[in-house]
Each structure stands twice: as structure tokens, then as C-alpha cells.
Amino acid sequence: MSQFALPLDWPAGAQESDYIVSDANRPVIRHLEHWALWPVMATILVGPRKSGRSLLGRIYAIKAEGELIDNAERADEEEVFHAWNRAQERRRPLILIADHPPPVWTPELADLRSRMAATPVVRIEEPDDLLAAQLIEKLCHDRGLAAPAELIRYLVPRIERSYLGVHRVIEALDALAYQKRQGLTVPLARRALLAVGVIDESHAEA
């Protein structure tokens, strides 16, 4: 039976349709879709926090009837070792999600270390402009907020180019909209950027 270690920040009920595909993750998806061609029945999936790596790993582990271990570098090494061997025996993929691949992640267990060295690594990149725009729109929609096109155009070139940075700005924007009881506007977006330290006070009213 497949077992999944679900991340705490993974929204309940997340579906495949919730995942935004772009150049930042398309090579990873292509790799996961062709799991039957992997040299070994395991892959290390790395990527920034909030990049959707856990959701993506779960989607393809379920599709392939494989296993998923999230935060693999902090998991019990014996369990990871046995899961790796089990994947080879069953010919079903094991997806290991980690912050960093070997050699940054260096298991203490020698047998696991050798297996990780033989395991392919795929990486989700930080969002490009197109993905950042789509992510802003989706995160606002998930909060019941309508994101005007001019607000997205304003934020994209100014927002920190990272998944975590996008999340932080939208959280600040949501809090401000709730506090002021108003819809999303470019002036409100300026205040959100100020709140998370992306711009300073001299630019907040510009």
C-alpha cells in the first residue's frame, strides 16, 4: 500500500488542476510522466518551498501507483532505504522530495548514500514572469479576491522572484484588503510591497 507523508502547508483537497504548468516545471513533469524509462525506480525531486513540489509528487505517485516521501532528507534513513529497494522490486516509482540533492544531502547510512548517488534528480525552478502572474491570480482567487489586470502588471516586475515571495505579498495584500474592507487595487498592492519590505516608504505612495 502506498504511503504519503503530507506537508503541513498542503491545502486539503488539492487537485491536479491546482498545479500551474510553466517552463519552470515542465521538464520535471515530463520526467515524472516517463517514469517507466527511469534508470532506477526512484527520483529525487527538489525545488523551492511553496513551488508545489509536494502536490506534483503526490499526483504522479498516485498515477504510477508508487510511493512518495516528503522532506526525505529528514525522514528515517532506514525507511527511505527500504522504500528505495521496494520500488526496484515492485517496478513502481519512489519520489523523494527534498530541499537539496546529494551531495548537499548526505545520508549517514552508507547503503542509502550509495543509492542516492545513483538516483536521478529533477528540479523545479523559481517562477518566471508568466508563472508569477498566474500564481498571483490563482492565490488571489483562492482567497476570494479578484485580481485586476493592472494590479498583476504592477506586481510582477516588483515582486520577489520566488514562490515564497509571491505568497508573502499575496498574504499581506489579503490582510490589507480585509483590514480596509476594499477590493484589490494598485495602491493597496504598493502597501503590501511595503509591508513585506520589497519597497521602502518613499516608493509606497508613488
State pLDDT tens for residues 16-69. 777 888 899 999 999 999 999 999 999 999 999 899 999 999 999 999 999 999
What residues pair up with 4 in beta bridges, in sequence order? 68
Among 161, 133, 135, 124, residue whose Cα is nearest residue 29: 124
Q: Say if 48 falls within a structural domain.
A: yes
User: Please, are residues 163 and 127 in contact by the beta-carbon 8 Å criterion?
Assistant: yes
Number of domains in the chain: 2
pLDDT digits (tens, 9 = 90+) for 152-184: 999 999 988 899 999 999 999 999 999 988 899
Q: Say if 8 falls within a structural domain.
A: no
**52 and 135: one domain?**
no
**49 and 117: one domain?**
yes
**187 and 89: one domain?**
no
**141 and 96: one domain?**
no
How far is 25 from 122, CA to CA, in rounded Å?
Answer: 9
pTM, entire model: 0.81
* Residues of the domain holding 173: 129-204
User: Please, are residues 162 and 127 in contact by the beta-carbon 8 Å criterion?
Assistant: yes
Cβ-Cβ contacts under 8 Å for 59 (sequence gap 6 or more): 16, 19
Query: Residue 46: in which H helix or E strand, if any?
Result: strand 42-46
Q: Say if 25 falls within a structural domain.
A: yes
Q: Which of 19-23, 80-84, 137-141 has the highest mean pLDDT?
A: 80-84
Q: Say if 6 falls within a structural domain.
A: no
Q: Say if 9 falls within a structural domain.
A: no
**65 and 133: one domain?**
no
